[in-house]
With several copies, the nearest count.
Chain A
Amino acid sequence: MVEVHPREVLICTIARLLDGVRHVAVGASSPIPAAGAILLRALKEKAGAIGPRISILGSVDHNFFTNGSAELFDCAGQGRIDAFFLGGGQIDGFGNVNLVGAGDYPQSSVRWPGSFGSAYLYFVVPRVILFREEHTSRVFVEKVDFVSAPGISEDGVFRTGGPYALLTGKGLFRFDKSRPGFELESVHPGHDLAEIKAATGFRFAHGERPLQTKLPDRATLDLLRGRVLDELAGTYPEFAVQMQRELAQRGALVS
């Protein structure tokens, strides 16, 4: 059996979540989402199909914008961005995201950078993937202290986008707008439902015996460890080098 690095599970899961999008935008410091997008494109191209357009903010190789930092948001408002990633200092069971701070606003006990474009993009990008590796009840709370961007909106509020899935270091959740809330879709290797329940501050739906997150096949791993990491190195050299080093330590590097 091929040994798979935990981050490879995340990258391959992201590639699956992005399947079908025409244009995915990735934030400036998001090597794993970027790798997932690049992997999907490589897989599509290998299959003779057209892969997604990938815009990585702050990247030279993947910057198709020429109208300043407003263009990403304009582009999303025009319906030209199908998928985007959001993290969050806190995320709750309604998909609310807090990027501002913990405790009472404005004198937050812990202040995070701020909401960035989330308060807009969450409304207009159809497939927003919530991505946070740290899976603890500090991050996944019952109710966020500050709503940077709400997971759901009242009827009548213009909204063409919102949460699609939540990917963590322990598992993958889908967002069900109708309930609304998260449903555990799969658990990554090495983790289990009880552990996830203990580390999650909000209630979520789940099967009795959740599936394990699908692992990549050999061909996908080869593509990821070769071409994808090479392409990624143009924008995230340190991340690519670190991945290659860790893979080598595990004896998994495809040379």
Chain B
Amino acid sequence: MVLSELRAMAKHVEAGMRVALPVDYAGVSMAMTLPLIERGAGNLDLVCVPTGGLQVDQLVGAGLVRTVETSAVSLGEAGGAPRFNAAVKEGTIKLRDATCPAIHAGLMAAQKGSPFVPMRGLIGTDLLRHRDDWRVIDNPLADKGDPIVLIPAIKPDVTIFHAPMADRFGNVWIGRRRELAAMAYASITVLVTVERILEESLLNNEMSAAGVLPALYVTAVAHAPKGAWPYGLWGEYSTDTVEILRYAKAARTAEGFADYMAQMEPA
């Protein structure tokens, strides 16, 4: 693990990479959004774990995104994600519509070093019909029939998220947001921003250790106070709904989006 800063961390992201991002409430590293846009590595294949919001909308709006694999994209109370929805309508991004547990299943397969995991449900959906990477087989352990869907492993090149704290050894405290660990296990590179960095090892006592993603899986950590803003961070601060509404309104047009992003303070 390397203690880093935002612009340096963004350099880990190369054009054409598969990038995993967490759901709104799990710890989105909004602090990395502008550095990623500055960095300009495009043709990204985003994996939303399991849904996306503001960050996905802004990366799409900035033209960096080739495909979005997700179970949903929205701004929550602020409504639809304007740049994402516009890109869908214009056909400028490729969709890989999924369902939450299928995203989790794909990451789990990668975590286990397995090529796939099976998943119930899905049969008869148009999600399945449009996914040529998912495969239906007859359950080999059943006597007859019993179709079941195989979800291939999702192996992101990069995972990016925000968490309350890390220690100076690179251990990151993710609490009960264990999907962040699942993303990290499955990924080659893991970039984390945190509210604060501790001197003492989080693994030194069993209470804090229980919520730790070990440094073993962490490529770089950067200090970014309020790094999820305008999203909230569990146990730390609430979502700034007014700001998200302001974005939603501004980003209805490409020009409004550009103006909004231009007035954002660079990291």
**Residues of chain A at the chain B interface (Cβ within 8 Å):** 23, 28-29, 53, 58, 63-70, 73-80, 99-101, 105-109, 111-124, 146-150, 153-154, 156-158
Contact = CB atoms under 8 A, between A and B. Distances in A.
> Interface residues of B: mostly helix, strand, loop or mixed?
mixed
25 contacts: A28-B76, A63-B203, A64-B216, A67-B176, A67-B178, A68-B26, A68-B177, A68-B180, A70-B101, A73-B100, A74-B111, A74-B112, A77-B120, A78-B111, A106-B130, A113-B80, A114-B74, A115-B97, A116-B51, A116-B100, A118-B99, A147-B126, A148-B99, A150-B125, A153-B123
Interface string B81-106: 10011001111001101111110100
A67 B213 CA distance: 9
A76 B113 contact: yes
B51 A120 contact: no
A100 B99 CA distance: 11
Interface residues on B, range: 35 or more
Given A69-B177, A76-B113, 4 more contacts: A23-B216, A68-B176, A148-B125, A156-B145
B215 interface: yes
B182 to A, nearest CB: 7
A69 B26 contact: yes
B72 A123 contact: no
Interface of B: 23, 25-26, 49-51, 70-74, 76-77, 80-81, 84-85, 88-91, 94-95, 97-102, 104, 108, 110-114, 119-128, 130, 145-148, 176-182, 185-186, 203, 209-217
Nearest to B138: A156
A157 B147 contact: yes
- Chain B CB count within 10 A is highest, among A75, A108, A146, A158, for A158
Given A69-B100, A80-B216, A114 B121 contact: no
